[in-house]
Chains A and B, each alone.
Chain A
Amino acid sequence: MKDFDFPTATDERLARFQSLARHHYDACSAYRNIVDRWFGPSALSGRLEELPFLPAEIFKTHALKSVPEEEVFKVMKSSGTTSQLRSQIYLDRDTARAQSKALSSIVAGVLGKKRRPMLVIDCPAQIANRATFSARGAGILGFSTFATKKFFALNDDMSINHENIQAFLDCDADQSFLFGFTAIIWQEFLSKIDAHSFKEKAGAAVLLHGGGWKKLAAQNISSQTFGARVKERLPFVQSVHDYYGMVEQTGSIFLGCDQGYLHTNPYNHIICRDQNTLEPLPEGETGVLQVMSTLPTSYPGFSILTEDLGRVIGPGETMTAGVTHASTVFEVHGRMAQAEIRGCSDTYQGR
């Protein structure tokens, strides 16, 4: 498919999603079978909530690709926390490039286009060995693109590295950022410091975090509580932004605002569905989240039913690549109990 820049109007985005559905239907026979069986071909030209979606699980059990084998240049794998099987995502150069570009224009909404010093709230071991690379390591690397100098706030034994943090604070830059995984920041960093540990920082700093609320949701810690604790312990942090993303839709992450709510942007869309009927739910009601991305052309992952529960709050406004645009505001509550959705891929297994 041809290169794509982001669509700003709603109908342009619908057209993009419809053309992606058609493209994968034509290019991937496994996807075509699923669509024919579960949705019927007429869904391909439906409204956003009528377009076909696949359960995230299916990328663990099936090799789904919409390009010839020789165009695949990278296979991304996730290690599922709840399953032994790993998702396999087939990337060609076009999709990989689109992912990088989307990520930088989304992140530019809070960091700007200029690279800045970065404090990684994790240990260097996360990116030391590519053979044992985890989702944490991949996240750190992905966001390193936005960094000039990189400092690690933790030692490999997860103790605080005061020298590195001081070096970051002393950095002569008017803009800087902190990055880490939500649960690591909470458990390994915030709990070990107090409001007097690190006070002064010249220039503005923002904190970006992501990587699942499962652990913190179990302790009843909301995104808002998290943000407030960050600002209390690190008084120089001006804004805190959560992100929500997954390996099946790398690049088109949903970025949170400083108030702790997630926003859609021109690269993605969110739909909340009833857990049992999978019918779309009205604003405010909790259900299972479906995520849509304008990016994937080499694999049919543009519309995925996650295993995460959440709710759509309502219309909002945010900024991507310097452009203010309308968004849909939502929140993620955590993982749903397994079973329910896995049924879909089990059904497909027989074919």
Chain B
Amino acid sequence: MSNLDTYTSAFVDAFRVDANQVAALAYQSIEQWDSLGHMQLMSDLEERFDIEMDIDDITDFSSFSKGKEILGKYGVTFDA
């Protein structure tokens, strides 16, 4: 599975949305991505990619696309 597939399925599993909807998601843009959903998504991503994010990055993780940028800092890259 590519990193993008893994990343996408984390959103699909956390928020129960279709894979073709995830790219447009932002924090609080859907009911499921609230503070509770956020922490679930964060710990799930950490587990899947075996990383540990800084506090500031968890705070800044505000959308699907911003998240890809943040994961880049931890060596998780997404081919265009």
Contact = CB atoms under 8 A, between A and B. Distances in A.
Contacts, number: 33
A93 B35 CA distance: 14
Given A73-B28, A74-B28, A130 B36 contact: yes
Contacts of B59: 97, 100-101, 104, 145
Given A101-B59, A104-B59, A142 B35 contact: yes
B52 A148 contact: yes
A97 B34 CA distance: 14
Nearest to B32: A130
A115 B56 CA distance: 10
B39 interface: yes
B34 A145 contact: no
A127 B40 CA distance: 11
A318 B58 CA distance: 26
B54 interface: yes
A113 B28 contact: no
Contact of A138 (B35, B52, B55): B35
B35 A141 contact: yes
> Chain A interface mostly helix, strand, loop or mixed?
helix
A127 B36 contact: yes
Interface string A90-110: 000100010011001000100
A115 B36 contact: no
B28 A145 contact: no
Contacts of A127: 36
B39 A146 contact: no
A145 B52 contact: no
Given A73-B28, A74-B28, A145 B55 contact: yes
Given A73-B28, A74-B28, A141 B39 contact: yes
Contacts of B54: 113, 115
Interface string A118-130: 0000000001001
B34 A130 contact: yes
Contacts of A100: 59
A144 interface: yes
Interface in A134-175: 138, 141-142, 144-146, 148
B56 A104 contact: yes
Contacts of B62: 93
Interface string B42-64: 00000000001111101100100
A97 B52 CA distance: 21
A71 to B, nearest CB: 12
A115 B55 CA distance: 7
A337 B28 CA distance: 38
B68 to A, nearest CB: 19
Contacts of A133: 36
B25 to A, nearest CB: 14
B34 A113 contact: no
B60 to A, nearest CB: 8
16 contacts: A93-B62, A104-B56, A104-B59, A108-B55, A113-B54, A113-B55, A127-B36, A130-B34, A138-B35, A141-B36, A142-B35, A144-B39, A145-B39, A145-B55, A145-B59, A146-B55
Interface of A: 73-74, 93, 97, 100-101, 104, 108, 113, 115, 127, 130, 133, 138, 141-142, 144-146, 148
Given A101-B56, A104-B59, A115-B54, 12 more contacts: A73-B28, A93-B62, A100-B59, A104-B55, A115-B53, A127-B36, A130-B34, A130-B36, A133-B36, A138-B35, A145-B55, A145-B59
